[in-house]
C-alpha cells in the first residue's frame, strides 16, 4: 500500500511568517510530486509541481524535494490570511502511463492577522 503522510495540523502562523508544510511518501520510485491548496467547501487547486531533487520557487511558494529521503516540503513566505486552507501533498505513481495520484490527508494551515 503506497502511502503519503502529512502532519494534519492545524498549523498556525502569524501573518508575514514562513509556513512550512511537510510530506513523506513510501514509493521510492515515485517521479512527480504536487502540492494542492483546498479551501473549505472547494475543490483542490494546484499550487506547485516538482519532479527533480532540489528547490523550485514560484512567487511566495517554494517546493523542496529530496528523493533519497522520500520527502517533499512546501514553504510559504510572507504568509497571508488568504493562505489559510488545507494543503494536500500528492504523489504520482511511477511507471509508464500510470498517472494515479496518491494524496496525503492534508495539513490545515491557519494564518492569523
Partner 1 sequence: KAGVTQTPRYLIKTRGQQVTLSCSPISGHRSVSWYQQTPGQGLQFLFEYFSETQRNKGNFPGRFSGRQFSNSRSEMNVSTLELGDSALYLCASLDSGSAGTQYFGPGTRLTVL
Q: Shortest approach of partner 1 to residue 24 CB, angstroms?
A: 15
Nearest distance from C-beta of residue 102 to partner 1, angstroms: 7
Please state, in angstroms and rounded to a whole number, the distance separating the CA atoms of residues 79 and 92. Answer: 27
Q: Locate cell 528547490: which residue?
A: 55
Measured CA distances, 106 to 18, 39, 47 (Å): 18, 11, 14
Least distance from C-beta 100 to partner 1, angstroms?
5
Would you say 23 or 79 has its CB closer to partner 1? 23
Judged by the rule CB under 8 A, the positions of this chain that interact with partner 1 are 31-32, 34, 36, 42-46, 49, 51, 88, 90, 92, 97-106
Distance, CA of 110 to CA of 93 (rounded, Å): 30
Amino acid at each position: 500500500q503506497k502511502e503519503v503522510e502529512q502532519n494534519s495540523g492545524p498549523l498556525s502562523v502569524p501573518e508575514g511568517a514562513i509556513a512550512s508544510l511537510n510530506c513523506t511518501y513510501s514509493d521510492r520510485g515515485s517521479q512527480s510530486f504536487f502540492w494542492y491548496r483546498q479551501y473549505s467547501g472547494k475543490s483542490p487547486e494546484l499550487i506547485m509541481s516538482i519532479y527533480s531533487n532540489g528547490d523550485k520557487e514560484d512567487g511566495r511558494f517554494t517546493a523542496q524535494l529530496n528523493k533519497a529521503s522520500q520527502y517533499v516540503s512546501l514553504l510559504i513566505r510572507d504568509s497571508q490570511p488568504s493562505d489559510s486552507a488545507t494543503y494536500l501533498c500528492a504523489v504520482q505513481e511511477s511507471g509508464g502511463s500510470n498517472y494515479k495520484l496518491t494524496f496525503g490527508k492534508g495539513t490545515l494551515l491557519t494564518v492569523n492577522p
